[in-house]
Structure 1
Amino acid sequence: MKKKHGLLIYREEDINRNEKFISLLIKASHNVHRPLTLISYEQLLIQVSGSSEFFTRAEMPLPAFIINRSVSPWLNELAEMNGIRSFNSSYISRIANDKRLSHSIMKRLRIPMLETLQITKQRLMENTPLPFPFVVKDPYGRGGTSVHFITNAAQLYETNTNLPNELIIQPVAKSPGKDVRVYVVGKQIVGAVLRESTNKDIRANISLGGQSSLYELSKKETAYIEQIIKHLKPDFVGLDFLFDEHGNVLFNEMEDAVGCRSLYMNSDIDIASIFMKYVASET
């Protein structure tokens, strides 16, 4: 079988803490004859004009595909312009990495979620459109970063200097510190993990000290996810859901470069192999 070479792209700061998953991806890539070369985003040199090849490193052949986990949707889009298959697609990468876009699309699909408002920091400081307490998020944040639980005006002003200029705000979920992450590869729901905070934090991320366990999706929850898959056609994403007071799921975010630690901790599912088999089928 002819081998098709691909690039695996991470930010330098993310390579060490994702070392195990990177090694699993690279091992799986050889098993399906789609060998991956790891390169940091910071070391890329890309020809965006002129007649040279897209990637200009002479020792690196033009890849047949890229797996871009550097959270840089423009790179996915540029690769596609040059005939290089990108995982995820630039469309998925862009909406997954901007909570304003992902929530707007889920609204169109009638997926339940918390009331979500886009707001600038200036507007928020002038007059809060939601009663306290509420949650303030960076629309580009990931992994539970840049999420602030605001209980009163004094705390809002104390947090002011740590906020970006563009924000989204939401009321507090009725089951704070608890969510479920659903792993999707292509058209397949690979697994789901329930994550719970252990320190009264509203964020349940494993990287922030949360605990996790396998979660069995209900028929209703599965139907929501299948609707999302049918409409968006993602390659490899995580779909995160909160819970309302009745235990019903509420869409929270879509992760492009989704972390898989909790899935490996709680199951024998090798999502790296599943994903690379999917990549081979698509290239």
Structure 2
Amino acid sequence: MTLSGWIIYNGSLNSEKFIDFACMLQSAAHKQKMNAMIYKNNDIMSYLSLHPQIIQDKRKDLPDFVIFTDKDIYLAKQLELLGIRVFNRAKAIATSDDKIATYQRLAELQLPIPKTIVAPKSFTEKISSNFYQIDQIIERLGLPMIVKEAFGSFGEQVYLVNTKEELREIIQTIHGRPFMFQEFIETSYGRDLRLQVIGSQVVTAMKRTAKDDFRANITAGGTMEAYKPTKYEVDLAIKATKAIGADFAGVDLLFGENDEPIICEVNSNAHIRNIYECTNINPADAIISYIRKQLSTTGEQI
């Protein structure tokens, strides 16, 4: 029996990189003799009633699996309620999308992360005097430091602040949104690693470098080169992926003292075009192979 799947991306995003990711997965599925249809998330709507349902226009039959490259976690959960195996699961996507939730999970498992202080939640538009206890935060983390919003992609919503006044200005700008204060890993300025984890394997990895930016994201102008990770880096990336309950993820590692790896981010929807062009290894092929194995194995938990 031929397996059939849906690949879902967000219909509100016009960037070619989102469609390209879906197409790479579809091509890999077809190579392995699996049917795969690409849908926008707005092609399929959740219908809430006594029994979980969806509203769709293009096809009536439900798939054997869904590859969810979007962050519409309500739709992902609805598909799970219909008994469809979703890669990645809604809970994993939600944890990955929320950097605070990710760091809490990593810290719970005692995995290495930058020292982090979660900003207290405020329900007022005006910031009261010393609500954020800036002096204590500077004393604990030092300057410069990173201020990072809980939600953001491609290195955006991440700010390097050098002075107390800059810190006040950033807080004033993002007040009301969830964010955190974080130790600045100076030894990793402008460089990091991206390891692509699928199941219990790292299938490929690259080193990213930026000359004029503390962030090494390719989208932010960084360059890339193929990288052979150490056993410890591989083990750490796999543990980080499993920590958020993901089937696959792009794990970003920073260079700490003596190049000891520190987990920066676990991205459940990491795009794979750059790492494929850098290393000539296509993670989409391994993702599809992993899905096939998972669907043929009963009772296996991630």
Partner of 1:105 in structure 2?
105
Unpaired runs of 5+ residues, structure 2, are 296-302
2: CA distance, partners of 1:190 / 1:156: 39
Shift of the alpha carbon at 1:14?
5.2
Amino acid paired to 2:257: E
2: CA distance, partners of 1:152 / 1:74: 40
Cα distance per residue 1:11-55 (max 9 Å; x no partner): 43155223433222111122234322222223432212255x722
Q: Does 1:255 align with 2:267?
A: yes
Q: CA RMSD in A?
A: 2.3
CA 1:255–1:227: 2 relative to 1, 3 Å: closer
Match of 2:196 among 180, 183, 187: 183
Cα distance per residue 1:58-109 (max 9 Å; x no partner): 4323222221111133332222222111110223212211112221222232
CA 1:151–1:232: 2 relative to 1, 3 Å: closer
Match of 2:231 among 216, 219, 232: 219
Structure 1, 80-89 or 31-40: larger mean CA deviation: 31-40
2: CA distance, partners of 1:253 / 1:142: 10
Partner of 1:59 in structure 2?
58
Identity over aligned pairs, percent: 23
Structure 1, 111-120 or 2-11: larger mean CA deviation: 2-11
Kindly indicate whether the alpha-carbon contact (under 8 Å) linking 1:32 and 1:280 is maintained by their aligned counterparts in 2.
no
Q: Secondary structure at the match of 1:242?
A: strand
Match of 1:138 among 149, 160, 176: 149
Q: Does 1:170 align with 2:182?
A: yes
2: CA distance, partners of 1:34 / 1:88: 18
Match of 2:285 among 237, 258, 273: 273
Shift of the alpha carbon at 1:110?
2.2
Amino acid paired to 1:70: D
Match of 1:207 among 219, 224, 234: 219
Shift of the alpha carbon at 1:114?
0.9
CA 1:67–1:77: 2 relative to 1, 3 Å: same
Kindly indicate whether the alpha-carbon contact (under 8 Å) linking 2:193 and 2:207 is maintained by their aligned counterparts in 1.
yes
Unpaired runs of 5+ residues, structure 1, are none
Task: Give 1:225-264 correspondences, 5 Å limit.
Answer: 225-228=237-240, 234-264=246-276
Shift of the alpha carbon at 1:276?
1.4
Q: How many residues align?
A: 281
2: CA distance, partners of 1:249 / 1:229: 15
Partner of 1:127 in structure 2?
133
2: CA distance, partners of 1:30 / 1:45: 26
Shift of the alpha carbon at 1:225?
3.0
Amino acid paired to 1:6: W
2: CA distance, partners of 1:73 / 1:265: 29
Partner of 1:69 in structure 2?
69
Partner of 2:161 in structure 1?
150
Shift of the alpha carbon at 1:180?
0.6
CA 1:7–1:223: 2 relative to 1, 3 Å: closer
Shift of the alpha carbon at 1:166?
1.2
Kindly indicate whether the alpha-carbon contact (under 8 Å) linking 1:109 and 1:228 is maintained by their aligned counterparts in 2.
no
Q: Secondary structure at the match of 2:42?
A: helix
Partner of 1:28 in structure 2?
28
Shift of the alpha carbon at 1:116?
1.1
Kindly indicate whether the alpha-carbon contact (under 8 Å) linking 1:125 and 1:157 is maintained by their aligned counterparts in 2.
no
1: CA distance, partners of 2:199 / 2:276: 19
CA 1:147–1:81: 2 relative to 1, 3 Å: same
| TM-score, normalised via structure 1 length | 0.89
Shift of the alpha carbon at 1:171?
1.5
Shift of the alpha carbon at 1:265?
2.0
Kindly indicate whether the alpha-carbon contact (under 8 Å) linking 2:205 and 2:228 is maintained by their aligned counterparts in 1.
yes
Kindly indicate whether the alpha-carbon contact (under 8 Å) linking 1:183 and 1:191 is maintained by their aligned counterparts in 2.
yes
Cα distance per residue 1:247-269 (max 9 Å; x no partner): 11101110011022331121221
Shift of the alpha carbon at 1:232?
5.3
